[in-house]
């Protein structure tokens, strides 16, 4: 792995840091206190739109042989979008993961369009993020009441009718869907085919039959909405089938292949959000130690020193896993194993870091003004979204067969 961080990425990370203290942290705390997501017409979002942030995660189509700035190697497929997005996700989540996820842009809807969409579809669906006048969102919907970890069981039906598709079903836990301009919806053309029957559609929010049913009351990350919605005789133009009919004739693209590529892109990003929260918890604990224990007495408190050191190692280890998975993707190499590894370890290690921080502070760690109890609530959800720990274990185990321990 050879990652050089280019200047544009560094500048964006610094921009996120600057808006962190002023906007992300206070808005996230306000949402946590009231239980209400940041309103979509908040002036902050217009400011974000004007800054051009909404298009930062869009992978530009390169000419063959063209090299991306900031990446070593001469792989013609190389880009730096994933590494950049991972670093931005980490920094934003340091300030507030909920506010970070709430930011306008393609969000989790971006990767499936990026990996499965035709050139025309990318142009059409991403063009709204290139304007700077108003904030716009997109979303992703795989999960259903009967299909969470076991996505093969999705039951939302897609039936072809002339040059349209008719969708019927229900989705749940779809982040940012109530404010999205479009949502990538995974449906099945035939449930008996399992994953091979899956197709991905872009459902535009103004489509008749698309109806938000309920916004969840979450234990943390309250700055953005996570919602259920119904699709009732939703008529989708044939052009909104991601990749078009031909895409699904290729065996490796059949149904779940596209979803898997989406997860390979999003798992390092979601995991990096855990790293951001863990860093924030670590800083609170370190500050507390520096304030409460003068240097000479701190030297005698071996347990606290060990804990701080462990916390820091967990953060570094988690960050490296996220970066490696993202870097492989940027280099156009397979990263399913590394993406699952990042998702397997980073969220639980980061949860451990927040727990350790609470331990170091003792009773003070449970006080709301120390933020640690909020960090612990916020980081827990990362363990679940984009596949739980147990599911990542399955993916990692499948990949281990026939694999050398040190590959790269």
Ligand X SMILES: Cc1cc2nc3c(=O)[nH]c(=O)nc-3n(C[C@H](O)[C@H](O)[C@H](O)COP(=O)(O)OP(=O)(O)OC[C@H]3O[C@@H](n4cnc5c(N)ncnc54)[C@H](O)[C@@H]3O)c2cc1C
How many residues interact with ligand X (rule CB under 6 A)?
Answer: 22
Region of 32-40, 145-153, 162-170, 318-326 interacting with ligand X (CB under 6 A): 145-153
Q: Is 35 left (phi over 0), alpha (psi -120 to 50) or beta?
A: left
What's the rounded Cα separation, in Å, for the pair 72 and 68? 9
Whether 386 is a known active-site residue: answer yes
Contact between 42 and 53 under an 8 Å Cβ cutoff? The reply is: no
What's the rounded Cα separation, in Å, for the pair 275 and 223? 19
- Taking residues 269 to 288 in sequence order and writing x for each that binds ligand X by CB under 6 A, - otherwise, the string is --------------------
Verify binding: residue 170, ligand X, rule CB under 6 A: no
Region of 26-34, 255-263, 338-346, 379-387 interacting with ligand X (CB under 6 A): 379-387
Smaller CB separation from ligand X, 129 or 327 = 129
Q: Report which residue's Cβ sits closest to ligand X.
A: 148
Among residues 24, 71, 113, 141, the one that binds ligand X under rule CB under 6 A: 141
What's the rounded Cα separation, in Å, for the pair 219 and 377? 6
Verify binding: residue 173, ligand X, rule CB under 6 A: yes
Sequence-distant (6+) residues with CB within 8 A of 226 are 173, 174, 175, 215, 216, 218
Shortest reach from residue 270's CB to ligand X, in Å: 9
Shortest reach from residue 374's CB to ligand X, in Å: 15
What's the rounded Cα separation, in Å, for the pair 12 and 54? 12
225 exposure class (CB count in 10 Å sphere: 0-12, 13-18, 19+): buried
Verify binding: residue 31, ligand X, rule CB under 6 A: no
Region of 9-17, 51-59, 143-151, 242-250 interacting with ligand X (CB under 6 A): 143-151
Among residues 143, 207, 240, 341, the one that binds ligand X under rule CB under 6 A: 143
Verify binding: residue 339, ligand X, rule CB under 6 A: no
Contact between 75 and 331 under an 8 Å Cβ cutoff? The reply is: yes
Shortest reach from residue 175's CB to ligand X, in Å: 4
Shortest reach from residue 261's CB to ligand X, in Å: 15
Q: Is the dihedral of CA 378, 380, 381, 387 positive or negative?
A: positive
Region of 42-50, 170-178, 257-265, 354-362 interacting with ligand X (CB under 6 A): 170-178
Shortest reach from residue 283's CB to ligand X, in Å: 24
Among residues 140, 201, 248, 263, the one that binds ligand X under rule CB under 6 A: 140
Q: Of these residues, 211, 216, 386, 404, which one is catalytic?
A: 386
Cα–Cα distances (Å) from 290 to 283, 307, 350, 375, in that order, read 10, 14, 22, 20
Shortest reach from residue 139's CB to ligand X, in Å: 6
Contact between 377 and 392 under an 8 Å Cβ cutoff? The reply is: no
What's the rounded Cα separation, in Å, for the pair 252 and 249? 9
- Taking residues 185 to 224 in sequence order and writing x for each that binds ligand X by CB under 6 A, - otherwise, the string is ---------------------------------x--x---
Cα–Cα distances (Å) from 287 to 258, 370, 378, in that order, read 45, 11, 21
What's the rounded Cα separation, in Å, for the pair 357 and 377? 13
Among residues 174, 314, 335, 348, the one that binds ligand X under rule CB under 6 A: 174
What's the rounded Cα separation, in Å, for the pair 393 and 133? 44
What's the rounded Cα separation, in Å, for the pair 103 and 91? 13
Among residues 272, 321, 381, 396, the one that binds ligand X under rule CB under 6 A: 381
Contact between 343 and 270 under an 8 Å Cβ cutoff? The reply is: yes
Verify binding: residue 142, ligand X, rule CB under 6 A: yes
Shortest reach from residue 50's CB to ligand X, in Å: 26
Verify binding: residue 108, ligand X, rule CB under 6 A: yes
- Residues catalogued as catalytic: 386
- Residues within the interface to ligand X (CB under 6 A): 108, 140-143, 148-150, 173-175, 218, 221, 226, 381, 384-388, 390-391
């Amino acid at each position: 792995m050879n990652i050089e961080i280019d200047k544009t990425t560094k500048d964006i990370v610094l921009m996120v840091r600057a808006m962190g203290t002023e906007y992300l942290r206070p808005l996230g705390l306000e949402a946590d206190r009231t239980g209400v997501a940041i309103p979509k017409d908040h002036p902050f979002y217009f400011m974000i739109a004007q800054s051009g942030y909404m298009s930062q995660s869009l992978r530009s189509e390169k000419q063959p042989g063209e090299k991306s700035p900031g990446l070593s190697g001469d792989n013609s497929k190389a880009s730096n979008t994933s590494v950049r997005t991972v670093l931005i996700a980490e920094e934003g989540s340091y300030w507030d993961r909920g506010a970070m996820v709430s930011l306008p842009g393609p969000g989790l809807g971006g990767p499936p369009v990026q990996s499965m969409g035709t050139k025309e579809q990318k142009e059409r669906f991403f063009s709204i993020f290139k304007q700077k006048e108003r904030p716009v969102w997109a979303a992703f919907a795989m999960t259903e009441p009967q299909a969470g970890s076991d996505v093969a069981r999705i039951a939302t039906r897609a039936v072809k009718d002339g040059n349209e598709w008719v969708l019927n079903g229900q989705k749940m836990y779809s982040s940012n869907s109530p404010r999205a301009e479009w949502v990538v919806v995974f449906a099945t053309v035939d449930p008996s085919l399992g994953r091979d029957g899956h197709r991905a559609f872009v459902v535009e929010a103004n489509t008749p039959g698309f109806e938000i049913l309920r916004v969840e009351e979450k234990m943390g990350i309250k700055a953005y909405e996570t919602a259920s919605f119904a699709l009732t005789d939703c008529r989708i133009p044939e052009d909104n089938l991601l990749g078009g009919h031909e895409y699904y004739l290729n065996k490796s693209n059949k149904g779940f292949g596209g979803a898997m590529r989406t997860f390979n892109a999003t798992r390092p990003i979601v995991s990096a959000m855990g790293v951001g929260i863990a860093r924030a918890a670590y800083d609170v604990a370190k500050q507390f130690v520096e304030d409460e224990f003068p240097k000479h007495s701190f030297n005698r408190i071996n347990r606290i020193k060990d804990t701080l050191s462990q916390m820091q190692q967990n953060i570094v280890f988690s960050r490296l896993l996220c970066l490696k998975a993202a870097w492989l993707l940027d280099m156009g190499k397979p990263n399913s194993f590394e993406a699952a590894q990042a998702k397997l370890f980073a969220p639980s290690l980061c949860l451990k870091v927040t727990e350790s921080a609470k331990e170091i502070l003792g009773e003070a760690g449970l006080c709301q003004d120390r933020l640690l109890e909020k960090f612990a609530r916020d980081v827990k959800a990362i363990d679940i979204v984009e596949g739980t720990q147990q599911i990542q274990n399955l993916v990692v185990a499948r990949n281990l067969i026939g694999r050398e321990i040190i590959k790269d």
